Amino acid sequence: MSTEPLLIRQARILLPSGEFFKGDVLVRNGKIVEVASEIINGDSLTIIDATGLTLLPGVIDPQVHFREPGLEHKEDLFTASCACAKGGVTSFLEMPNTIPLTTTQSALDDKLQRAQNKSLVNYGFFMGATPENLPDLIEAKPTCGIKIFMGSAHGALLVSKEEDLDPIFARGSRLIAVHAEDQARILERRRQFAGITDPAIHSQIQDEQAALNATQLALKLSKKYQRRLHILHLSTGIEADLLREDKPSWVTAEVTPQHLLLNTEAYASLGTLAQMNPPLRSPENNQVLWQALLDGVIDFIATDHAPHTLEEKAKGYPHTPSGMPGVETSLPLMLTQAVAGQCTVAQVSTWMSTAVARAYKIPNKGLIAPGYDADLVLVDLDTYCPVIREDLKTKCGWSPFEGWNLTGWPVITLVGGQIVYERGKLYPQVRGKALTFDE
């Protein structure tokens, strides 16, 4: 698709230094070609008047479950990418627990083809580890990395035993991202608490110790082979404390907005909508995770967008699936925190874009500078609007944050220099591109 040159005029621009300045950004052939404090000549260009708006690099969400193929009743790559565009998410890294599982090159190719046909934003896919697919894990491409479910999974994608994990860490060099929960402990505690239907028990069954045990094992194996490790959705203060004491330079970790902003008190109002893996924790954990993020112990933010229908969520615990949607609320949630003084807007942008591009070695993304891809989001930091169910683009049609009054909502989102979302309107003909990952 051709991309018209365009000029973003008089935005408050976040520079790579973390400072803001008011100026113009010229975009041509999908790239940022000029960032200037003086007025750039805009004759014959499409002009976006960005007066009063803040320009940030588009969000790169490094953990989403978009359900296609096989689970399209929950979400698909079109609806999910519409939600991304509305939320200022211009690239995503998607997880392998679809049907079929993304455990082979052909399954990966199929997802890439589907995304090319349907996704409004840029896309990358994880390869899922099984105890048997080591050659695929080493060879398949392009992929952002290997996903290992050490717990909270069933069937082929569960790799919980050290003897099955060890060879995956030993062979190959690409990034390994772990869902760190101790499956044996979870199963034992499930038996112990059998019969309890209050969803709050979920946080006790899949408790903090279960998360810590698995994170410790992943760290041990990563150190044994000096293997690049990423710990997905860190949920507990004890894991953060562990990393604070001993985090090798080749290890990164992420946290979700819900583990920062929601806690076990949410079960009272949300019931099973608050059920996710790893589970929500106590309010004290929120504080420790925030501090770890502010101190750089946790490197970046992912939503773990994991939509399930309201019918599925109404089945009654423990028959309800775990997971909640997130891509269209994550940026305003975090920017609202920044405006409230919890962190800075520049930090939010680092955690949601710059640091993700760096960790996954995605070239030319995550900064506003000449030569970088024009994946951009213009946000309004002055207006507050609540999260409203009727506005949501995710197919599952609900959010755990409904009613939250947020600022920093995207006004315009650009993918590869094309407007994909503008003031409530989507441009569904725009297509993102396959992300590339440097070796």
Contact window for ligand DOR (CB under 6 A) among 157-165, 197-205, 321-329, 355-363: 321-329
Under the binding rule (CB under 6 A), the answer on residue 306 touching ligand DOR is: yes
Instruction: Report the nearest approach of ligand DOR to the CB of residue 44 (Å).
Output: 47
Site string for ligand DOR, 396-425 (x = CB under 6 A): ------------------------------
Instruction: Report the nearest approach of ligand DOR to the CB of residue 5 (Å).
Output: 40
Under the binding rule (CB under 6 A), the answer on residue 277 touching ligand DOR is: yes
229: left (phi over 0), alpha (psi -120 to 50) or beta: beta
In the complex with ligand DOR, the residue whose CB is nearer, 254 or 380, is: 254
Contact window for ligand DOR (CB under 6 A) among 258-266, 319-327, 375-383, 400-408: 319-327
Looking at beta carbons, which pairs linking 105-112 to residues 24 or more positions away fall under 8 Å?
Answer: 105/136, 105/139, 105/140, 105/141, 108/140, 108/141, 108/143, 110/69, 111/68, 111/69, 112/142, 112/434
Nearest to 259 by CA among 276, 239, 235, 243: 235
In the complex with ligand DOR, the residue whose CB is nearer, 395 or 431, is: 395
Tell me how far apart the alpha carbons of residues 79 and 81 are, in angstroms, rounded to a whole number.
Answer: 5
* Catalytic machinery residues: 304
Instruction: Report the nearest approach of ligand DOR to the CB of residue 276 (Å).
Output: 4
In the complex with ligand DOR, the residue whose CB is nearer, 151 or 410, is: 151
Helix, strand, or coil here: 55? strand
Enumerate residues 63-82 that contact ligand DOR by CB under 6 A: 65
Contact window for ligand DOR (CB under 6 A) among 52-60, 121-129, 318-326, 380-388: 318-326
- Binding ligand DOR (rule: CB under 6 A), the pick from 276, 288, 411, 419 is 276
Q: Which two tokens stand for residue 248?
A: 């090798």
- Binding ligand DOR (rule: CB under 6 A), the pick from 199, 323, 325, 417 is 323
Instruction: Report the nearest approach of ligand DOR to the CB of residue 245 (Å).
Output: 26
Phi, psi of 125, deg, nearest 5:
-130, 140
DSSP string across 388-423: -GGG--STT---TTTT-EE--EEEEEEETTEEEEET
DSSP string across 344-368: -HHHHHIIIIIHHHHHTT-TT-SS-
Q: Cβ contacts of residue 117 below 8 Å, gap of 6+?
A: none
In the complex with ligand DOR, the residue whose CB is nearer, 322 or 349, is: 322
In the complex with ligand DOR, the residue whose CB is nearer, 263 or 322, is: 322
The residue assigned the tokens 């697919």 is 133
Residues in the chain: 439
Q: How many residues at the interface with ligand DOR, by CB under 6 A?
A: 11
Contact window for ligand DOR (CB under 6 A) among 11-19, 255-263, 317-325, 358-366: 317-325
Nearest to 238 by CA among 198, 204, 277, 282: 282
**Strand extents, DSSP E, 87-187:** 89-94, 122-125, 127-128, 146-149, 176-179
Instruction: Report the nearest approach of ligand DOR to the CB of residue 285 (Å).
Output: 16
Under the binding rule (CB under 6 A), the answer on residue 179 touching ligand DOR is: yes
String of b and e for 107-126 (b: at least 16 CB within 10 Å)? bbebbbebbeebbbbbbbbb
* Closest residue to ligand DOR: CB criterion: 323
Task: Catalog residues that contact ligand DOR under the rule CB under 6 A.
Answer: 65, 97, 152, 179, 276-277, 304, 306, 321-323
